[in-house]
Structure 1
Amino acid sequence: MSFDRLNSLEAQPTTMRRSEDPHYRDDPDFDRLTESLSNQLFTLTSNITRLSDQIALLGTKRDTERVRERVHNLLEETRSGFKHVGEGIKKVQMWEDVNPSQKWTQQKLSSEFKATLEEFQTVQRRALEKQRASAVAARTAVEEGEHAPADGTSHEQQQLLEEQPRLANQDEVDFQEALIIEREAEIRNIEQSVGELNELFRDVAHIVHEQGGQLDIISENVERVTTDTRGANVELRSASRYQKNARNKACCLLLILAVILVIIVLAVTLG
């Protein structure tokens, strides 16, 4: 899922205008929760952008321990954020007795959550590929160092050459082994996170379905309510004009009757 889709979702109104929603009622708890979740999703989107930039440095000349530390911290922070937001999204989807405006908000948050989570999963898989490649390269370097050929030297010379740098070589081997263990641990961590977030994604989708969340028709339903409301307003204005005209006619008839009555009374009196 691309950021273009997410941007298009953000451009949509979160709720209908209150004047267009005949069922609107104040629900501050719902409003606070959805506003908080929307802000957290924005933060997660920013994290994904920063994370993508850092992952692009892995395996290049600019790959440093500092870069890997930033990647690790951003992955952990973003994973935790998605788990927290996911629980909030599930709570919003299970909100009871929602009006059309709140249904629209449910749809928007659910769509944003799924789009952002898909983007993060893509970035996580890129990080996983980079970590695997790095671990393989480190393992290969260690194995090649342990079996380096010594052509053109006698057995004694080879022993001497091996003994002199042995401590330095062992330090390098130990360092590479430590890096391999660290990279493999990060790989397992990312793989576990991908699985957990996939499960969270399925949970949210299931809840949306269970709550009658046919999200593709909510917009149509809300628009229908808006149209019906506007139609009702037109009918009310028409009825108001009709009643006003009827009152005017009644007043005219009463005035005519009063004039006739006065004429009759005068005629009788003068006669």
Structure 2
Amino acid sequence: MSFDQLSSLESQPTTMRREDDPQYADDPEFQQLSQALMTKLFTLTGNISRLQNEIALLGTRRDTERVRERVHDLLEDSKDAFKEIGEGVKKIQSWEDVSPSQKYTQQKLAREFQSNLTEFQSVQRQALEKQRSTNSSAKLALEEAQSPNSESSPSYQIQAQETLRLASQDEVDFQDSLIVEREAEIRNIEQGVTELNELFRDVAHIVSEQGEMLDTVANNVESTRTDTRGADVELRSAARYQKNARSKACCLLLILAVILTIIITAAVAG
């Protein structure tokens, strides 16, 4: 399922329900969206593994522009995917009238999303550190090539100047442009880290609110149970009181009947 299809699912109203249909235990829209999100999270897990392998090559002899392109593409694609999935997770978390199984799905999605996002953010920071390190080394090498150390020996200065003369200006310009590109990539990664930090906080806040709501519901349920038990005790007490009252009334009527019988018998006999 593409991200466009995922977006179309998210845009559908959450008030649609099939509770009147006994064939549906859960909302099919909820199930479809949650399954799509889990599939995308699984795909991102693979992206993270590939990223870790590519980032390990940065700063080594196998570091090439092609490697950096793959790192850039994977970082961008994964960042965009996390942002889109994050919106879906927030939608799932705010779903109303959920069943116990849907509540479990909400919690599972939140855990998986936060876990994968945390791992991806760690990979982002690794890429950022590698980019900064290699760029700093490239800057230093370029500066040393362009400005030989005045304190070094005359022979070293002559050698450095000869090396600098042999190095074409085109190569120097090319290295300088690479440094500029890497600095732009560093800023881009930093921005991605900031964006995903905000997304992580948003989802964590929603999950926290859901937990507070669950606690409130549980407290209300327990309070209702307590009130119900109290009402039941009162009803039982009232029933016993009424039963005792009826018993006393019956006894009084029986005594009155006996007395009345004695009086009538005495009157007839007299």
Percent of residue pairs bearing the same amino acid type:
62
Q: Which residue of 1 aligns with 2:232?
A: none
Deviations, residues 51-104 of structure 1 (Å, cap 9, x unaligned): 000000001111111111100000000001000100000000000100111000
Q: Which residue of 1 aligns with 2:169?
A: 170
Deviations, residues 166-213 of structure 1 (Å, cap 9, x unaligned): xx4322221111111111111111111111101000101111122336
Higher Rg? 2
Return the alpha-carbon distance in structure 2 between the equivalents of residues 170 and 96 of structure 1. 65
Q: Which residue of 2 aligns with 1:74?
A: 74
Return the alpha-carbon distance in structure 2 between the equivalents of residues 206 and 163 of structure 1. 57
Normalising by structure 1, report the TM-score: 0.64
Q: Which residue of 2 aligns with 1:200?
A: 199
How many Å apart are 1:164 and its aligned residue? 5.3
How many Å apart are 1:26 and its aligned residue? 3.2
Task: Indicate conservation of the 8 Å contact 2:55/2:71, yes or no.
Answer: yes
Return the alpha-carbon distance in structure 2 between the equivalents of residues 74 and 204 of structure 1. 23
Relative to structure 1, is the Cα distance of residues 152 and 211 closer, same or farther in structure 2, using a 3 angstrom cutoff? closer
Return the alpha-carbon distance in structure 2 between the equivalents of residues 97 and 147 of structure 1. 70
Return the alpha-carbon distance in structure 2 between the equivalents of residues 78 and 163 of structure 1. 42
Q: Which has the higher contact order (CA 8 A, sep 6+)?
A: 1
SS of residue in 2 equivalent to 1:211: helix
Q: Which residue of 1 aligns with 2:93?
A: 93
Return the alpha-carbon distance in structure 2 between the equivalents of residues 114 and 61 of structure 1. 35
Q: 1:1-271 to 2 correspondence within 5 Å?
A: 25-148=25-148, 152=154, 165=166, 168-212=167-211
Q: Which residue of 2 aligns with 1:17?
A: none
Relative to structure 1, is the Cα distance of residues 77 and 213 closer, same or farther in structure 2, using a 3 angstrom cutoff? farther
Q: What stretches of structure 1 move > 6 A for 4+ residues in a row? A: none
Relative to structure 1, is the Cα distance of residues 164 and 143 closer, same or farther in structure 2, using a 3 angstrom cutoff? closer
Relative to structure 1, is the Cα distance of residues 46 and 147 closer, same or farther in structure 2, using a 3 angstrom cutoff? same
Return the alpha-carbon distance in structure 2 between the equivalents of residues 204 and 47 of structure 1. 21
Task: Indicate conservation of the 8 Å contact 2:26/2:99, yes or no.
Answer: no
What stretches of structure 2 of length at least 5 have no aligned partner? 1-23, 219-270
Q: Which residue of 1 aligns with 2:10?
A: none
Normalising by structure 2, report the TM-score: 0.65
Task: Indicate conservation of the 8 Å contact 2:145/2:164, yes or no.
Answer: no
How many Å apart are 1:128 and its aligned residue? 0.4
Letter in 2 for 1:197: L
